[in-house]
Amino acid sequence: MIAMASACGPAPATVVDDSDSTTVAPTSTRTPRIVDDSGRPDITFDPCLDLPDEVMSAAGYDAAHKEFADMPMGSYTFLGCSYKGTIHIPGVLARYGLIVMAGNASLEEEFKKNGDVATPTTVNGRPALLEVGTNGNDECTYVLQTDFGIVLFNRLYHKDHTGPVPPSEWCFGLEDFIGTVEPLLGN
């Protein structure tokens, strides 16, 4: 068994190679960068620190230029990380922006807020929502439930052509990526 730690921040995720398959183990708990006085749970997953750069790069996102995108709101908080990326789809070059946000709001609150565009689903057995077009066209969001609240993966398709992007392409390949990183979220 070979273990490698990522070089991004304290208490990084660990990649474990069992010779037959590679799995990504969840990170250890750390003190969150931002806390609020809401009485809600502390956020124990930090997208910029807990998503290994090599995993994000392999998925087509520019981990070398990720940016913190935090949102302390008083009654709840979100720790965020934004990525630019290019994912190649046969015959089409698709450019995407990805924002990953971990917050201490609940899945039920998120459904109440965006229920008109949200569909309940699961990712690797974890309760989740799929939100298509939350803030407009060309956008796809997966919201996964955690012990502290939720983690949102919001991807925006930046079209490089005139005319609309078919809604079937807004979420293309995103579910596979989410399934790969879901174990990193912990419980």
Whether this model's pTM surpasses 0.85? no
Question: 120 exposed, middle or buried (CB, 10 Å; 0-12, 13-18, 19+)?
Answer: exposed
Predicted confidence at residue 139, as pLDDT, reads 87
- pLDDT the model gives residue 172: 84
In terms of pLDDT, which residue wins out, 178 or 28?
178
Residue 23 predicted with pLDDT over 70: no
Highest mean pLDDT among 7-16, 30-39, 61-70, 102-111: 102-111
- 100 conformational bin, left if phi > 0, alpha if psi -120 to 50, beta if neither: beta
- Between 40 and 112, residue with greater pLDDT: 112
| Residue 59 confidence (pLDDT) | 87
* Strand residues in 7-149 grouped as ranges (E): 14-17, 22-25, 67-68, 71-72, 77-89, 92-103, 118-123, 126-132, 139-145
Q: Is pLDDT above 50 for 87? A: yes
138-179 residue pLDDT tens: 889 999 999 999 999 998 877 666 777 777 778 888 899 999
pLDDT surpassing 50 at residue 65: yes
Q: In this structure, is the dihedral angle defined by the CA atoms of residues 105, 34, 37 and 45, taken in order, positive or negative?
A: positive
89-131 pLDDT tens trace: 555 556 778 999 999 999 999 999 999 999 999 999 999 999 9
* pLDDT for 3: 31
Whether 1 has a pLDDT exceeding 90, the answer reads no
User: Residue 68, exposed/middle/buried by CB under 10 A (0-12, 13-18, 19+)?
Assistant: middle
Q: What percent of the chain has pLDDT over 90?
A: 43
